[in-house]
A and B are shown apart, each in its own frame.
Chain A
Amino acid sequence: MTDQLPALIIIAPLLGAFLTPVIGWRYRHLCRPWALMVLAVPVYASIASLLRVVKNGAFGYNLAGWAPPWGIEYRIDHLSALMLVLIAVIGLLATINAKAGISLKMRGKEPHFYTLLLLQITGLMGIVITGDLFNIFVFLEISSLSGYGLIAHGEDGAPMATFNYIIIGTIGASFYLLGVGYLYMATGSLNIADLATILPGLYHSKMILVGFAFFTTGVAIKMGLFPLHIWMPDAYTCAPDPASSLIAPLMTKVAAYLLIRIMFTLFQPDFAISIVPVATVLGWMAVIAIIVGGIKALAQTDIKRMVTYIMVAEVGYIVLGISVMNRAGLTGAILHIINDACMIFCLFLVIGAISYKGHGREIYHFQNLNKKMPYTMAAFVIVALSVCGIPPTCGFFSKWYLILGTIASKQWFFTITLLGSSLVNAVLFFRIIEKAYLAPLDSGAHGNDHSDEVIVRDEAPISMLIPIMITATAIIVLGLFSGKIIAAVIQHAVPAIF
């Protein structure tokens, strides 16, 4: 049974997705318990896989018994095991959270929503688990297609945002496919481990260079790296709240994982430094992403749109950590993938809870919200501190490693950008926290009897509070135990030559 765990991670949500419409046909209220039950399998299987990897090292699983270079291999090493746990847990929490949001805005569409949600999680976990380049393309498209479907359910501008996302996302996936094609032409193999042994002899071939260029561009589109981020703010702002809390934190992070996989497992790290200066180019693009993301976020008054621009900057952090090409930088990048997924997830959960209670998403709507929704706002403050990078929250530790990485590679401008971006984040969040906690009760009432008007506490429902509280706790726990996570998992995910 335990030998089949890698297959179960994919098969359970995939089959579950196909059965959801069948169940929802007659018993619509059973869709959510069914989805939760199905998702419990990958959560268990991925945690078991992580424990096994930590104990015994990486292991593979041959799909249908075909040996690796010909058959499709599922390969679980430290990095992918960590990502699997992240995706499975966030997927489960997003499903718990989805109930209230759906009952408000998507009533009667439960079967559609949960089917797409399960497919989305299947796709994301498939990208992480598989060791086959073409299989990654298929899973990439599974997750993107279900993502389009989820986003299109959203508010006013959603169909238009979805269509733009489809066009740009398809270009990204097609570029990735072309990259696979060029590498296949040059080597005749699709297995990542196999390719990694063949490729070093061919590094000066033009075909490999073109393939690498297509890979990086395609993944950068999926990741939303500046200037290829234009689809991201619209799509994630317009998406319905339960959907954006699932897609937004995971899709960009899985694409970042893919970039790490391509640059450090498929190719030797040396390739991106000495043969083509991709690392330098990516580094400067990341710097621009951080600066532009910060400025654009400052200009927003809608908090959901603001968070999407913060995401543009956060993707910049991860790519910056990858581009400095040393141990501290890559450790920071991997740690930041985990931490940032938690932070963005929590932010979207809080936004979902606030708009579920009928409050607007503009900053001035936050006035005195701490009295109405004390727990939600407490979680919001924890996330805000983490995004700004204040210990002991997890955001501090990943930023710490990123800054160490830029110092080790003597890229002083990168260091300054990281520090300056923390200040921008502080401004972004404290203007909201100030509005929520410190604004006077009612500016219009000059000592009239309005002033003793009691603000009624109106907290989000328990199905939303549980994920919010778990994630907010996780942000602190991940921070406190970040040293242990690095020692047990991440240091093995960094290539040995650094």
Chain B
Amino acid sequence: MLEYILAKYNYWIYIVLMMIGLYAMMGKRNLVKKLIGMNIFQTSIILFFVSRGVKKGGATVPILMGDGHGHGEQLIQVADYLNPLPHVLMLTAIVVSIATTGVALATLILIYKRYHTLEEDEIMAIRKEASAYKTLGT
């Protein structure tokens, strides 16, 4: 069993991180903690992709040897090189996740300015009170 877990440890780490993120998003009542949960969730997926590109046994970055004009190039053995594509994809995904975090933080500032708290329960209570006043007024 332990061997089974250790042999594919990168997947186990990604799943555990993902569950931590999901728990924080659903279980926590503080909005900043929810946001951090979202970040952990996204990072776990990045880890999953990146770990897919890795090869064991001394594989390196794919650089084409030779003078660049079709002379002296060696035949490329796929096993000798890492797969760069998942890494490149994840560069884009990191940018996306930063943008999402930025928008979420800006929204949190808006929320804080309006309610002076970031606890979901307190915000709910404030909004309930406000809507009760509104119906009393009309």
A141-B99, A162-B107 known; A184+B86 contact, CB < 8 A:
yes
Given the complex of chains A and B, what is the CA–CA distance between A181 and B45 in angstroms?
9
Measured between alpha carbons, how far is A134 from B49 in the docked complex, in Å? 12
Total A-B residue pairs with C-beta atoms closer than 8 Å?
Answer: 71
Binds B, one of A48-56, A164-172, A451-459: A164-172
- Distance between A299 CB and nearest chain B CB, rounded to angstroms: 16
A157-B128 Cα distance, complex, nearest whole Å = 11
- Residues facing B in A234-280 (CB within 8 A) are none
A145 contacts the other chain (CB 8 A)? yes
The residue on A at minimum CB distance from B103 is A148
Number of interface residues of B (CB under 8 A): 31
A145 and B103 contacting across the interface, CB-CB below 8 Å: yes
| A148 CA / B101 CA spacing, docked (Å) | 12
Is A149 an interface residue, CB under 8 A from the partner? yes
List residues of chain B with CB within 8 A of the CB of A181. 45, 48-49, 52, 86
Number of interface residues of A (CB under 8 A): 25
A152 lies within 8 A of B25 (CB): no
Residue B127 interfacial (CB < 8 Å) = yes
Contact partners of A152 in chain B: CB under 8 A: 106-107, 110
In the bound assembly, the distance between CA atoms of A166 and B31 in angstroms comes to: 12
Of residues 97 through 129 on chain B, the ones whose CB sits less than 8 Å from some CB of chain A are 99-100, 103-104, 106-108, 110-111, 114, 123, 127
Structural contact, A163 and B111, CB atoms closer than 8 A: yes
Residue contact A174 to B41, C-beta cutoff 8 Å = yes
A185 interface residue (CB < 8 Å to B): yes
In the A-B complex, the 4 residue pairs with the smallest Cβ-Cβ separation, listed nearest first, are A159-B110, A159-B111, A141-B96, A166-B104
A interface residues (Cβ-Cβ under 8 A, vs B): 134, 137-138, 141, 145, 148-149, 152, 156-157, 159-160, 162-163, 166-167, 170-171, 173-174, 177-178, 181, 184-185
Known: A141-B100, A159-B110, A174-B41. 19 other contacts (CB 8 A): A134-B89, A145-B99, A145-B100, A148-B103, A152-B106, A159-B111, A163-B107, A163-B108, A166-B103, A166-B104, A166-B107, A167-B34, A177-B93, A178-B48, A181-B45, A181-B48, A181-B49, A184-B52, A184-B86
